[in-house]
Structure 1
């Protein structure tokens, strides 16, 4: 195992960086999309129910099957990996964003409107900051989930550590096959832990002490 790691150290580091970069960029995209959608639906109970239903149903779709379906229109490579990772990343964040925005005390919103703030300013300066702890909790859940989804995306020749996993599984029983799988799996776990620690730090920087959960 040690010889395998030493001999492919640079390749492992590069694949790990690709994996981490893919997940982080998709998380940023997913957070923006989820917050926009939540801001459009959170005032309507019917739309909230629809958004929650979409989130629940979307999470039941097997990531491996979705990647396979996307190969036909988009081919192999980065694009299907980005679509799949961003799709699954959006779902938990959307649910939490809807919960966070709809759970704000109406009296707080009315007070902001009463001092002359527009609906958009109220959303940006009052509601979103108050909902941010709940939204960030969804981002943390999403980050852990899609770290594994990004590994599965290697089936479509996407970037990241999943290549080690699929390479090892394709020649299971051959030389270094087990080492390749273990390297990919352990690498994904380590990256997930690092990203979670970074998100905890982000929470400490962006959430006022008085509303931390």
Structure 2
């Protein structure tokens, strides 16, 4: 792919098919966002629930772990019998793959919140719900976001396989390039997918840092200093 012929072919393909690439990128983002949204709405509350019901936690996390061991194409093929071909199949498979890091990190993050801090909150008269929302989740947020980062990258990368079962996204370009044995088409699909994964990881990494106790303490100190000066 380092030869001038490939570069010329790639530029020529992109210039003639940029609308197709943009459409495929939009489809890829749509599939990934839907899968990530379902994962977060499902796994974060479930992770919180498991911290209150620890006896079943190992079993639920083990089930989520099992999905990681199933080959992607095999899972997509099996789900055809449930959802048929198309994006619904792909989204369901992506959710199954993304469950583990979000579920496990939510559970671990909340469980690792300092017990003395929780007890102090109880001593102040906070209810369990208030402790969860104002103490445990804010302190566990960096760990939870770490799981979301992993899940997001997995979803964006695996979403390319949606094309194998009739779904949309950048996988269509990749599979088209493979069938035609044309590197420039493969690269036209792989490059945006890689860029999306890297950009998403970079944004979530910065947000993760923003939510750490150290950064929050710096913001509070800065705010107090400004107020004092005024």
Does 1:74 pair with 2:121?
no
SS in 2 for 1:59: helix
CA distance in 2, matches of 1:159, 1:184: 12
* RMSD across aligned positions (CA): 2.0
- Structure 2 gap ranges (5+): 1-9, 219-230
Deviations 1:162-199 (A, max 9, x none): 01111122233xxxx32221211222111111111222
TM value normalised by structure 2: 0.83
Alignment counterpart, residue 195 of structure 1, candidates 186, 200, 211: 200
How far did residue 5 of structure 1 move? 0.8
Q: Which residue of 2 aligns with 1:10?
A: 19
Q: 1:125 to 1:86 in 2, by over 3 A?
A: same
Larger radius of gyration: 2
How far did residue 133 of structure 1 move? 0.2
TM value normalised by structure 1: 0.89
Does 1:141 pair with 2:146?
no
Matches within 5 A, 1:24-39: 24-39=33-48
Matches within 5 A, 1:1-213: 1-172=10-181, 177-204=182-209, 206-207=211-212, 209-210=215-216
Deviations 1:30-74 (A, max 9, x none): 122111111111244433322332232221111111111111221
CA distance in 1, matches of 2:68, 2:128: 32
How far did residue 23 of structure 1 move? 1.4
- Structure 1 gap ranges (5+): none
Q: What count of residue pairs does the alignment treat as equivalent?
A: 208
